[in-house]
């Protein structure tokens, strides 16, 4: 029994990773959705983040640095890929959160007469924080849903 418990704890500490995504259909053109989504420095207006910024300011470009905070914690990511009006990908470079990696991407696609938006987060916990991984995964999924829905409401009210 002791070996079983040690194995479960070791498994939790090593392999807590997930890829989560949320999608939404927005009654707007790809260009209008891109204008909002590509400004990653404004993402705190739609999510649970306290603040966000992008350097250089404006639209995301390869090499741009995105800095976000939530409470006392922060994350710093680099934009690694941009295909205008279609895709943005970021990769975590530094964080105070217990994460080995936290990579995000935004994908726009045609959805009938609307524009589809898919938000993806690929992440892995770090150390003892993995013991609470199921809660992190549930919270993250809920926040992602709120984020895409808030973006939808914002764009459709413009």
Residue (of 91, 92, 94) closest to 81 by Cα position: 91
Residue 123: CB atoms within 10 A of its CB come to: 22
Return d(Cα 52, Cα 36) in angstroms, integer: 14
Q: Which CATH number belongs to the domain containing residue 42 in this structure?
A: 3.30.530.20
Return d(Cα 148, Cα 156) in angstroms, integer: 12
- pLDDT of the residue at 3: 76
- pLDDT of the residue at 127: 77
Q: What is the pTM of this model?
A: 0.91
Q: Average pLDDT of each block of 10 consecutive residues along the chain (158 residues)? A: 68 74 98 98 97 98 98 97 98 93 96 97 85 85 97 97
Instruction: Map tokens 């939808």 to a residue.
Output: 152
- Number of folded domains in the chain? 1
Return d(Cα 119, Cα 111) in angstroms, integer: 15
Structure tokens at 143: 């926040």
How would you class 69 by CB atoms within 10 Å of its CB: exposed for 0-12, middle for 13-18, buried for 19 or more?
Answer: middle
- pLDDT of the residue at 76: 98
Q: Which domain range does residue 102 map to?
A: 2-156
């Amino acid at each position: 029994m002791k070996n079983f418990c040690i194995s479960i704890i070791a498994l939790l500490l090593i392999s807590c990773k997930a890829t989560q995504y949320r999608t939404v259909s927005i009654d707007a053109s790809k260009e209008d959705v891109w204008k909002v989504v590509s400004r990653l420095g404004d993402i705190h207006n739609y999510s649970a983040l306290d603040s966000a910024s992008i350097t250089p300011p404006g639209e995301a470009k390869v090499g741009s640095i995105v800095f976000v905070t939530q409470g006392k914690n922060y994350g710093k990511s680099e934009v690694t890929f941009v295909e205008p009006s279609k895709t943005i990908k970021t990769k975590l470079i530094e964080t105070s959160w217990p994460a080995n990696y936290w990579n995000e991407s935004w994908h726009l696609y045609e959805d009938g007469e609307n524009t589809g938006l898919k938000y993806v987060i690929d992440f892995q916990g770090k150390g003892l924080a993995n013991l609470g991984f199921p809660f992190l995964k549930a919270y993250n999924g809920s926040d992602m849903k709120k984020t895409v829905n808030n973006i939808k409401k914002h764009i459709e009210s413009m």
